[in-house]
C-alpha cells in the first residue's frame, strides 16, 4: 500500500508525569481510532519540568521506567508505531539525554535518537534564554529506521535549524522526518513553519512535526502549530494552539514519482 495515515500529537504538558501520560494516552487512542499507523509525540511530552533538577530526577534507565513502559504498552495495545517525543534518560554525572525512542506495533523499541543539537541561546533582548547543555548530554548518532509508512529519520526541535543533519538522514535513504518539538513562542512565530517546510523541500521528504503549545507551569510559552508537510512543501495538516491530533494521509508513490522527475537530490555538487 502506498498511502498511509500518520499523526502528530499536540500537547500542553505540565510538570506532573501522570497527568501528561493520561493526556497522551487519550490523544493517541483518538488518533488510532481514526486509522493512524504512526504517531509522533512532542518533545518533553511526559514532563515539562519546572527546572533542570526535576528533569534529571525524572531520568530513566535506558530501556525501562514509567515513561518508556507507558510508550511500549500503548504501542502494543493500540497496535501502532509511536515516536515517543523525548524523555530524559540517565547519562551519568547528574546529566540526561533528551531521547526520542521509536516503538513498533508490538511494543518493541526498534530505535532511539539522542538530541544532537542543544538549545543554548538567548532568544530575545528581554532576557528569554536557555542553556540546555547545562544538564543534557548531546547525542552523537544519526538515526534512521524502517517503518510501515516509510524510512524515518529522527530529529528533535532545535535540530531543525541544522540542514546538514537532514541531508545526512536523506543520505541514509530517509523518506520522512519526525520533529518532536517545544519551539518557543518567540521563535516559532517567525521560523517554525519556514524551517519545517524548508527541510521538506530540500530533501523531498515528508515532515511530521509534533509540538508543545501554550503557557506551561515552568513559565515557558511554546508556539504549537503542529503540522505535517509533504515533499513539495505543502502543509497537509496543521493545528494552531489547542492540544489535539493532527492527521493526514501521505502517499509514498507520489513521493517516489516526485523524486524521479525532480532529481534535485542527485544534482548536489558539494558535500
> DSSP 3-state assignment of 42?
coil
The H-assigned helical ranges of 99-178 are: 163-171
Phi, psi of 4 (to 5 degrees): -145, 150
CA distance 243 to 160: 22
60: in domain: yes
35: in domain: yes
238 in catalytic set: no
> DSSP 3-state assignment of 254?
helix
233: in domain: yes
44: in domain: yes
Tell me: the pLDDT tens digits for 203-219? Answer: 999 999 999 999 999 98
Phi, psi of 58 (to 5 degrees): -85, 0
45: in domain: yes
How many helices (H) and strands (E) would you count in the chain?
Answer: 7, 18
Q: Is the confidence at residue 201, as pLDDT, over 80?
A: yes
Give the list of residues 6+ apart from residue 142 with CB closer than 8 angstroms, or none.
116, 153, 165, 168, 169, 172
Mean of the per-residue pLDDT values for the chain? Answer: 97
Tell me: the pLDDT tens digits for 247-261? Answer: 999 999 999 999 999
234 in catalytic set: no
37 in catalytic set: no
Give the CATH number for residue 86: 3.60.110.10
Catalytic residue among 60, 115, 137, 238: 115
What is the band of 1 on the pLDDT scale with cuts at 50, 70, 90?
A: confident
In this prediction, residue 127 carries a pLDDT of: 74
92: in domain: yes
pTM across the whole model: 0.98
User: Domain range spanning residue 252?
Assistant: 3-263
271: in domain: no
Q: How many domains does the chain have?
A: 1
215: in domain: yes
Catalytic residue among 37, 43, 60, 137: 43
Average of per-residue pLDDT across 51-68: 97
Please state whether beta strands 136-137 and 96-103 pair in parallel, antiparallel, or not at all (unpaired).
parallel
Tell me: the pLDDT tens digits for 97-138? Answer: 999 999 999 999 999 999 999 999 988 877 788 999 999 999
Catalytic residue among 23, 37, 157, 238: 157
Amino acid at each position: 500500500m502506498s498511502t498511509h495515515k500518520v499523526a502528530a500529537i499536540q500537547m500542553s504538558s505540565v510538570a506532573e508525569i501522570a497527568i501528561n501520560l493520561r493526556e497522551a494516552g487519550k490523544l493517541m487512542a483518538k488518533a488510532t481510532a481514526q486509522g493512524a499507523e504512526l504517531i509522533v509525540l512532542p518533545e518533553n511530552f511526559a514532563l515539562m519540568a519546572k527546572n533542570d533538577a526535576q528533569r534529571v530526577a525524572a531520568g530513566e534507565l535506558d530501556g525501562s521506567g514509567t515513561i518508556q513502559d507507558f510508550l511500549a504498552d500503548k504501542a502494543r495495545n493500540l497496535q501502532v508505531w509511536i515516536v515517543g517525543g523525548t524523555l530524559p534518560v540517565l547519562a551519568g554525572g547528574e546529566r540526561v539525554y533528551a531521547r526520542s525512542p521509536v516503538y513498533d506495533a508490538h511494543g518493541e523499541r526498534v530505535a532511539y535518537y539522542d538530541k544532537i543539537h542543544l538549545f543554548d541561546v538567548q532568544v530575545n533582548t528581554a532576557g528569554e534564554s536557555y542553556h540546555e547543555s547545562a544538564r543534557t548530554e548531546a547525542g552523537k548518532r544519526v538515526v534512521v529506521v524502517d517503518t510501515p509508512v516509510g524510512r524515518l529519520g529522527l530529529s528533535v526541535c532545535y535540530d531543525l535549524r541544522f540542514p546538514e543533519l537532514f541531508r545526512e538522514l536523506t543520505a541514509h535513504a530517509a523518506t520522512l522526518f519526525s520533529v518532536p518539538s517545544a519551539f518557543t513562542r518567540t521563535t516559532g512565530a517567525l521560523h517554525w513553519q519556514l524551517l519545517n517546510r524548508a527541510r521538506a523541500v530540500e530533501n523531498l521528504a515528508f515532515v511530521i512535526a509534533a509540538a508543545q503549545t501554550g503557557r506551561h507551569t515552568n513559565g515557558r510559552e511554546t508556539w504549537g502549530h503542529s503540522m505535517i508537510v509533504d515533499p513539495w512543501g505543502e502543509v497537509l495538516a496543521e493545528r494552531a494552539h489547542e492540544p489535539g491530533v493532527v492527521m493526514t494521509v501521505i502517499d509514498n508513490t507520489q513521493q517516489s514519482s516526485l523524486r524521479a522527475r525532480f532529481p534535485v537530490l542527485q544534482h548536489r555538487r558539494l558535500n
